[in-house]
Amino acid sequence: MPAALSVSEILASSDGVDTRAVATDLWPRRLIERRDGIAATLPQQVWWPQSQAEVQAIVHAARAQRRPIVPYGAGSGVCGGISPTTQTWVIDLKRMDRIIRIDPAAHEVVVEAGMVGDRLERRLNEAGFTLGHFPSSIYSSTVGGWFATRSAGQLSSRYGKIEDMVIGVWGVDGRGERIEAHVDDLPTGPGAVQMLCGSEGALAIVTQLRLRIEPMPSHRWLRGFTASSLQDGLTSMQRLLQSGAAPSVVRLYDPLDAALSSSHPPQPNEPDHITGGAIACAGIEDSGPHPDDETNPFEPLLQRLEKLMIFSRPHASRTIVGEALARPALLSGLLDRLDAKPRFIIGLEGSADDIHQRLPVVRRSLVGATDLGAAPGERWLSHRHRVSYRMSKVFAAGGWVDTCETACGWAEVLPLYRAMREALRDLAVVMCHFSHAYIDGCSLYFTFAGGGTTGSEGGPRSSLSRYDLAWERALLVLRKHGAALSHHHGIGRLKAHVARSDGTMTVLAAMKRALDPDGILNPGVLGVGGP
Ligand SMILES: Cc1cc2nc3c(=O)[nH]c(=O)nc-3n(C[C@H](O)[C@H](O)[C@H](O)COP(=O)(O)OP(=O)(O)OC[C@H]3O[C@@H](n4cnc5c(N)ncnc54)[C@H](O)[C@@H]3O)c2cc1C
């Protein structure tokens, strides 16, 4: 038996500069706190293991001291999954970033959990394959983080979510034991793989994953459309998914979200462009610094409001984003007057012949749609990871912004959409896009932006109070409509109190006791094992 590894050989730091870097994820509540001068809680230490054996050694040492452990991927989570105490050890997995093997015959890759998404995709593309997983955060999230949160990429309608791609997992549980499960392994099977998927660091520290990959398609077709109404847009989307046309991209933006993107005139006679190159390909977007990033995402809307003569001084609106967001009901009413139409982006991939054959099916599925030609689709492709990076401008302007993503069956989509907008009307400007569609339903991705007083004094009119109230109401709406608590961001601490009241928590708590008897793995996340 090999000698037990000593933790003294593993890279670690207790320096403030290092512990601060892993003290939180990107939960917007934490961003408001930082902006308003509330200090972060720093963990006791951060570790950077390079092997599963090193992870085991750290867990054994933590268990001996009854110390909480939080696994850390790239920290792009948005639900407070990373919320250490001053006693916590954070295990940053980014030094475990090797591709173990790409198997072209089996269409599989085995990769360590700390690899950042776009680096994996680039390596797969070089080998002629794609994972097909393109979250907006692909440059700043890890494969292990994807698995731990049940992440979804922009092409999920065609390639599925991460749980559809994973066929094997390796990790270390809270006892320091190695665990391994594969869908094609009789003793463990798909159940054990799925049990760990979405466990957000509460059941195991994932060290390695085996994922299904696909050959890269050779061609793409992308096009924009407006829908005459949201109902028509959703009907088109449902018909499209049920038609067998297998689109890679289906994105429907509600009128407000559509008004945020640049406008395109109708192009009913523009011929179809079938272009060489896949949509499922890393690095085709323009990912460098961009002048757009210097503005907040509400800038285009505010410019249009200026045109409506709502503000008397030219450009005055740009300096009052925070104030405007503190009056969301008024702002929503004004924005509704813009009378924008919902907008679609649809994209197909495959061989040129295959796309030609599927195009009539796509067009037959659309109801009340106006063709905008290829430009909006190609623009979406080149900007596909951009908008999220502009959110910080809203915080800097004194406002806040967050996203609430959920999923439900087709019949419930529109009622849920209306209820959410109504429930938050006095607290936030709410917009929505529908970007992960399936045969039986789709995901609704709400963006809500509000304001309030800033500073650490608190009070009912403070940004933090208004933010918390907005989430309380949003979660109530989800429950009332039987919608998923999350489609792809996870539960974290943000939704843990709601998850706790769910019947399935009994099963999760039992699994937690078996794999983590001392409750040291990310206590509190998912609503299990914490305060
Ligand atoms: C700008 C932006 C855009 C985003 N777009 C998308 C999107 O399109 N689709 C999407 O699904 N999500 C998106 N997200 C959310 C986020 O990127 C995902 O949740 C992602 O999967 C998190 O990966 P990470 O490596 O950053 O995980 P982290 O934030 O580091 O961790 C997330 C959770 O998983 C746990 N964890 C991390 N690694 C491991 C591991 N190896 N073993 C066990 N537990 C682990 C952590 O403890 C934590 O609870 C976005 C976030 C931002 C900020």
For residue 143, the ligand 1 atom closest to its alpha carbon is 25
Neighbours of 236 (CB within 10 A): 24
* Global confidence as pTM: 0.94
Q: What helix, strand, coil percent values describe the chain, rounded to 5?
A: 35, 20, 40
pLDDT in tens, 401-432: 999 999 999 999 999 999 999 999 999 999 99
Residue carrying structure tokens 């702002």? 331
Q: Which residue from 95, 183, 188, 216 is spatially nearest to 144, judged by alpha carbons?
A: 95
* Side chain identity at residue 447, one-letter code: T
For residue 116, the ligand 1 atom closest to its alpha carbon is 25
Residue 397: the pLDDT is 81
pLDDT in tens, 164-191: 999 999 999 999 999 999 999 988 888 9
Does the CB atom of residue 71 touch ligand 1 within 6 A?
yes
- Percent of the chain's residues with pLDDT above 70: 91
Q: Which residue from 231, 188, 181, 227 is spatially nearest to 204, judged by alpha carbons?
A: 181
Lowest mean pLDDT among 172-176, 213-217, 291-295, 457-461: 291-295
Tell me, in angstroms, the distance from the centre of ligand 1 to residue 524's CA. 17
Query: Residues, the chain, total?
Result: 531
Residue 387: the pLDDT is 67
Name the CA radius of gyration of the chain, rounded: 23
Does the CB atom of residue 112 touch ligand 1 within 6 A?
no
| Backbone φ and ψ of 454, nearest 5° | -105, 170
With beta carbons less than 8 A apart as the criterion, state whether 25 and 80 touch.
yes
Residue 310's pLDDT band (cuts 50, 70, 90)? very low
Three-state DSSP class for residue 525: helix
Does the CB atom of residue 74 touch ligand 1 within 6 A?
yes
Does the CB atom of residue 209 touch ligand 1 within 6 A?
no
With beta carbons less than 8 A apart as the criterion, state whether 136 and 489 touch.
no
Does the CB atom of residue 81 touch ligand 1 within 6 A?
yes
Instruction: Tell me which of 293 and 198 has the higher pLDDT.
Output: 198
Residue 320: the pLDDT is 57
Instruction: Write out the DSSP string of 441-478.
Output: EEEEEEEEEE--B-STT--TTBHHHHHHHHHHHHHHHH
Tell me, in angstroms, the distance from the centre of ligand 1 to residue 313's CA. 42
Lowest mean pLDDT among 29-43, 316-330, 513-527: 316-330
Q: Ligand 1 pocket: which of 149, 207, 208 to mutate (most atoms <8 Å of CB)?
A: 149
Give Cα 492 distance to the centre of its chain: 13
- Percent of the chain's residues with pLDDT above 90: 76
Lowest mean pLDDT among 151-160, 338-347, 389-398: 389-398
CA–CA distance, 322 with 308 (Å, rounded to integer): 20
Lowest mean pLDDT among 73-77, 338-342, 525-529: 338-342
Does the CB atom of residue 170 touch ligand 1 within 6 A?
no
CA–CA distance, 465 with 121 (Å, rounded to integer): 40
Does the CB atom of residue 82 touch ligand 1 within 6 A?
yes
What is the overall mean pLDDT for the chain?
A: 91
Does the CB atom of residue 52 touch ligand 1 within 6 A?
no
CA–CA distance, 374 with 367 (Å, rounded to integer): 19
pLDDT in tens, 106-127: 999 999 999 999 999 999 999 9
